């Protein structure tokens, strides 16, 4: 049974509706996510509000001790949690392990909060007057996560939020609630004061109750752009600080001087890894000049030979997509691309994986899709790569900048000058140079721009510290007359 965790205890939800949690590879039911009512968001928010005054007074050096313990518990239970991610989300065990490693890195970075949270000061800004900036926690903060990284994405926010002295209400995706059940069970063993971290399961109604709740001061959201926009607008209208990371349609540009062998390896991994369900997945390959046919041949080979199957089985390189609806949507977008003139040079539709009845779509490569086709600009969120050819890098950069999204763009080249030009001109938040999944380490912001991000400060690193703290400036004068003789 999937339960909420409120005020330091596990509670069954009073929800009247549930969502079935299904293993996307086998179709087995793993549990039922309660669609918790607004009342339970209120209970979690009130518990977090009660815990806040004493948690914020707890010295930062003591707050981070819980993170050191959490890191050690996550290491002990690393394989079990990774396996849970594969069970509910479908990615391969190797991908789940990689995800948990990234989650733990965020805990490690937040352990440096005694230094990270420091402000700054100036003595004698005027005669005898000093000024300082201190960072203080905000209060109750909410975290709303998507399905595709059930372990990592909550950790872009959680360790920073609590190390800064805030308390938290977390809502995982209703499709993959089991990973956070395991993480909360570990937190429960750490003697963290009751109410510092709370978990409420559910869907849209929980999100809206968070956005409308008067004691919640800040919202960190990751998911599709349509919902990110909604969360940003409604949260801001209710006076909350919001950071909302949205969807993507990520291009790579391949120049004729690229190393095709290594480029095709990493681009295939970016396009088809996690079954294309990464916000940093490559979905458009733009080849420049002579790069076209050579690149197309090698990437087709990589797509054809990628082993698709159950993520817990040895040798499997790509798992299923999350739901049957998702598979149907991906296949219908490929159908649409074909009816818009694309050639499916590798066709992954209606995949058959012997022994399994999951939501499998095999790697698909499209050639000749008109740039004007709606599919070119739609986030497919599946293992589909479309290849486009242009004459020069300016045309390639114009394509990179023409879409709605701005999550990531990558360039493959042997030329530093082209690399610099690309870095300078591509209007996206994450740039890869000879790298096709430019996932920032935990001590850098997980960036994103234009239609892929709504807000100012991103998750992870120093951005997270700034997001989870309020700056306060103090100007002080102590007249010398206030010296007393002792």
Query: Of all residues in this chain, which one has the CB nearest to ligand NAD in the complex?
Result: 223
Give strand pairing partners of 449. 406
Q: Of 207, 255, 285, 318, which one interacts with ligand NAD (CB under 6 A)?
A: 207
Stretch that binds ligand NAD, among 18-26, 53-61, 222-230, 365-373 (CB under 6 A): 222-230
Size of the site for ligand NAD (CB under 6 A): 28
Of 394 and 427, which has the nearer Cβ to ligand NAD?
A: 427
In this structure, the strands spanning 9-11 and 4-6 are antiparallel
Q: Of 24, 37, 90, 146, which one interacts with ligand NAD (CB under 6 A)?
A: 146
> At CA 221, angle to CA 215 and CA 227, rounded to 5?
110
Provide the minimum distance between the beta carbon of 405 and ligand NAD in the complex, in angstroms, as a whole number.
8
Give buried/exposed letters for 299-310 (b at 16+ CB in 10 A, else e). Answer: bbebbeebebbb
User: What is the SS3 assignment for 364?
Assistant: strand
Provide the minimum distance between the beta carbon of 190 and ligand NAD in the complex, in angstroms, as a whole number.
25
A 10 A CB-CB count for 126 gives 9
User: What is the SS3 assignment for 237?
Assistant: helix
Q: Is 242 a catalytic residue?
A: no
CA distances from 475 to 92, 94, 129, 367 (A): 55, 53, 7, 63
Axis-axis angle for helices 93-110, 60-76 (nearest 10): 160
Burial class (CB in 10 A: 0-12, 13-18, 19+), 396: buried
Provide the minimum distance between the beta carbon of 140 and ligand NAD in the complex, in angstroms, as a whole number.
18
The answer to whether the CB of 201 falls within 8 A of the CB of 6 is no
The answer to whether the CB of 160 falls within 8 A of the CB of 465 is yes
Contacting ligand NAD within 379-438 (CB under 6 A): 379, 381, 407
Stretch that binds ligand NAD, among 133-141, 171-179, 361-369, 475-483 (CB under 6 A): 171-179
Give just the sign of the alpha carbon dihedral 164, 166, 167, 168. negative
Provide the minimum distance between the beta carbon of 230 and ligand NAD in the complex, in angstroms, as a whole number.
6
Distance, CA of 337 to CA of 258 (rounded, Å): 28
Provide the minimum distance between the beta carbon of 273 and ligand NAD in the complex, in angstroms, as a whole number.
14
Axis-axis angle for helices 78-89, 93-110 (nearest 10): 120
Distance, CA of 117 to CA of 397 (rounded, Å): 38
- 219 near ligand NAD, rule: CB under 6 A: no
Provide the minimum distance between the beta carbon of 345 and ligand NAD in the complex, in angstroms, as a whole number.
25
Per-residue string for binding with ligand NAD, 437-466, x by CB under 6 A? ---------x-x---x--------------
Of 94 and 203, which has the nearer Cβ to ligand NAD?
A: 203
Of 207 and 397, which has the nearer Cβ to ligand NAD?
A: 207
Contacting ligand NAD within 184-203 (CB under 6 A): 203
Distance, CA of 210 to CA of 185 (rounded, Å): 23
Of 145 and 351, which has the nearer Cβ to ligand NAD?
A: 145
- 168 near ligand NAD, rule: CB under 6 A: no
A 10 A CB-CB count for 357 gives 12
Stretch that binds ligand NAD, among 64-72, 219-227, 411-419, 477-485 (CB under 6 A): 219-227
Distance, CA of 264 to CA of 280 (rounded, Å): 16
Provide the minimum distance between the beta carbon of 213 and ligand NAD in the complex, in angstroms, as a whole number.
14
Give strand pairing partners of 364. 384
A 10 A CB-CB count for 53 gives 10
Q: Of 91, 230, 240, 388, which one interacts with ligand NAD (CB under 6 A)?
A: 230
Q: Of 224, 373, 378, 415, which one interacts with ligand NAD (CB under 6 A)?
A: 224
Residue among 141, 244, 279, 410 flagged as catalytic:
279
Per-residue string for binding with ligand NAD, 243-272, x by CB under 6 A? --xxxx------------------------
Provide the minimum distance between the beta carbon of 171 and ligand NAD in the complex, in angstroms, as a whole number.
6
Q: With residue 219 as reference, give the H or E element that holds it.
A: strand 216-222
Contacting ligand NAD within 103-132 (CB under 6 A): none
- 20 near ligand NAD, rule: CB under 6 A: no
Distance, CA of 436 to CA of 251 (rounded, Å): 9
A 10 A CB-CB count for 230 gives 19
- 227 near ligand NAD, rule: CB under 6 A: yes
Distance, CA of 74 to CA of 85 (rounded, Å): 14
Provide the minimum distance between the beta carbon of 88 and ligand NAD in the complex, in angstroms, as a whole number.
12
Q: Of 174, 269, 463, 466, which one interacts with ligand NAD (CB under 6 A)?
A: 174
- Report the catalytic residues: 279
Q: Give the interface with ligand NAD as residue ranges (CB under 6 A).
A: 144-149, 171, 173-174, 203-204, 207, 222-224, 227, 230, 245-248, 279, 379, 381, 407, 446, 448, 452
């Amino acid at each position: 049974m999937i339960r909420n965790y409120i005020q330091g205890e596990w509670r069954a939800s009073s929800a009247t509706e549930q969502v079935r949690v299904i293993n996307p590879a086998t179709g087995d039911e793993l549990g039922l996510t309660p669609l918790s009512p607004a009342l339970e968001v209120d209970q979690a928010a009130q518990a977090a509000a009660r815990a806040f005054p004493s948690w914020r007074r707890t010295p930062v050096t003591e707050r981070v001790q819980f993170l050191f313990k959490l890191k050690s518990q996550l290491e002990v239970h690393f394989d079990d949690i990774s396996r849970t991610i594969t069970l509910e989300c479908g990615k391969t065990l190797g991908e789940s392990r990689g995800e948990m490693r990234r989650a733990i890195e965020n805990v490690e970075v937040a352990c440096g909060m005694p230094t990270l949270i420091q402000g700054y000061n100036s003595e004698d800004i005027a005669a005898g007057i000093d000024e300082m900036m201190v960072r203080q926690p905000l209060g109750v903060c909410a975290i709303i996560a998507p399905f595709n990284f059930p372990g990592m994405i909550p950790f872009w926010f959680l360790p920073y939020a609590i190390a800064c002295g805030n308390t938290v209400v977390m809502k995982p995706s209703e499709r993959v609630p089991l990973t956070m059940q395991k993480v909360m069970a570990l937190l429960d063993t750490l003697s963290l004061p009751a109410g510092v971290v709370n978990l409420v399961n559910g869907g849209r109604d929980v999100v809206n109750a968070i956005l409308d709740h008067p004691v919640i001061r800040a919202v960190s959201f990751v998911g599709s752009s349509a919902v990110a926009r909604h969360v940003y607008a409604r949260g801001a209208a209710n006076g909350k600080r919001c950071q909302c990371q949205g969807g993507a349609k990520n291009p790579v540009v391949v120049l004729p001087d690229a190393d095709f062998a290594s480029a095709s390896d990493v681009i295939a991994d970016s396009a088809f890894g996690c079954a294309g369900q990464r916000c940093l997945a490559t979905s458009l390959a733009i080849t420049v000049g002579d790069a076209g046919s050579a690149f197309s041949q090698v990437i087709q080979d990589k797509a054809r030979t990628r082993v698709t199957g159950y993520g817990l089985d040895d040798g499997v390189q790509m798992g299923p997509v999350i739901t049957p609806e998702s598979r149907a949507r991906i296949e219908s977008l490929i159908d649409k691309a074909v009816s818009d003139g694309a050639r499916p040079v590798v066709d992954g539709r209606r995949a058959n994986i012997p022994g399994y009845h999951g939501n499998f779509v095999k790697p698909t490569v499209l050639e000749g899709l008109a740039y004007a086709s709606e599919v070119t600009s739609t986030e497919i969120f599946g293992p589909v790569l479309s290849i486009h050819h242009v004459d020069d890098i300016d045309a390639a950069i114009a394509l990179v900048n023409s879409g709605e999204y701005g999550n990531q763009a990558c360039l493959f080249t042997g030329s530093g000058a082209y690399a610099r030009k690309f870095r300078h001109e591509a209007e996206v938040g994450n740039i890869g140079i000879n790298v096709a999944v430019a996932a920032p380490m935990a001590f850098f912001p997980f960036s994103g721009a234009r239609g892929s991000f709504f807000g100012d400060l991103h998750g992870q690193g120093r951005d997270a510290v700034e997001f989870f703290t309020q700056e306060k400036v103090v100007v002080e004068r102590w007249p010398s007359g206030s010296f007393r003789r002792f």
